[in-house]
Structure 1
């Protein structure tokens, strides 16, 4: 069919990695879509929240909103904004860890950035 990408053309890719931080095993699931990115971070298989962020021409700070879960927990929103700014893509983030300490989330973000540098084609 004309106009449709060929099967296996690389429009969608999946990437998983894990790390132990502060005695906790943290799993990451990345799904790179054509013009967006979905990132799930957690220790157990659940989806407690979901946020989305994207760049816009009117502000240097990407716009973000919570799509699912407790709106008072802004961890997913903040991470989505920073990743949207870095990738220039629409970014969906689901941060499913109890620990929302800023030092811990900085470690999480740094680990994501390391993975982005090592495997840029996955992001």
Structure 2
């Protein structure tokens, strides 16, 4: 029975949560990272909403990671493309929930740059 408890303890130690925020284009944007075994979940938004969810992972058949939208409006490609770029950068499975209006492409670029900056500052959180 002890080996089972040890396995559960080892599995829970691999999860970690990391939050950060930044004011981008006059609005406070919040970031929530849940580090998983072999990947991470990234939530981006201004209020606690989960309006979409995309997942991306590497493929042995293609140099470009695979990505798909699991939840949300399929006409909004922001979460899938962000997940794909983060998978390409980290070589990990990435889940992304991007809950910001897609009215300004500059905001999307600023958000992605802020994520990359945080990855450089805290690589152990991703």
Tell me the TM-score normalised to structure 1 length: 0.93
Gapped regions of structure 2 (runs ≥ 5): none
Alignment-derived partner of residue 96 in structure 1: 99
Offset of 1:9 from its aligned partner?
Answer: 6.6
Q: How many residues matched?
A: 123
Alignment-derived partner of residue 84 in structure 2: 81
Q: Distance in 1 between matches of 2:100 and 2:54?
A: 14
In the TM superposition, what are the counterparts of 1:31-50 in structure 2 within 5 Å?
31-50=34-53
Offset of 1:5 from its aligned partner?
Answer: 5.0
Q: Of the candidates 86, 108, 111, which is equivalent to residue 108 of structure 1?
A: 111
RMSD across aligned positions (CA): 1.6
Contact 1:32 1:122 in 2 (8 A): yes
Gapped regions of structure 1 (runs ≥ 5): none
* SS of corresponding position for 1:71: coil
Q: Of the candidates 46, 64, 67, which is equivalent to residue 64 of structure 1?
A: 67
Please tell me whether Structure 1 or Structure 2 has the larger radius of gyration of its CA atoms. 2
Offset of 1:79 from its aligned partner?
Answer: 0.4
Alignment-derived partner of residue 25 in structure 2: 22
